[in-house]
Structure 1
Amino acid sequence: MSPDPLVFLVCHGSRDPDYQQALADLLARVQQQLAPQPVELAQLEGQPLTLAEQIQGRLAAWLGAGRSPDQVVLLS
């Protein structure tokens, strides 16, 4: 199996429910466009983890599952 990139949709972030719904809709559209490549969500604000910690956590999860991404791609 060839390695896949680890793709993140990076957004500013907000606790506002309308923003969160719009973000969920955007993420769904991006995932549809890039399918079957999975797309992760990372937010700069409103999250307990920093952007770097979010990326490190997902990367660790991929490596723990035996996946080795060939690159990390940030979409903003």
Structure 2
Amino acid sequence: MAVNLSKNGPALMAAYKEVVDGKSDTNWVLFTYEGNSNDIRLAEKGGSPCDHKRPGGGGRGAGDHPDQSVQSVWSKL
């Protein structure tokens, strides 16, 4: 099965551009599959490596991503 990047393409590209833009506070984005489909979607993004662990930090928290889910991250170094 092929991965579908076109369904959520504008949101994926916008998130990627936020990370590579030197003026943006976004340092990372997390992508995952949408439900049981082949569609890739933006899961979350943040400005600090620990944003996803803090309440109100821009992420949903480590418990919101099942261990069995496939994810990919794009990050500034």
Alignment TM-score, normalising by the size of structure 1: 0.31
> Which gives a bigger RCO, structure 1 or 2 (Cα 8 Å, sep 6+)?
1
Alignment TM-score, normalising by the size of structure 2: 0.30
- Say which structure is richer in helix: 1
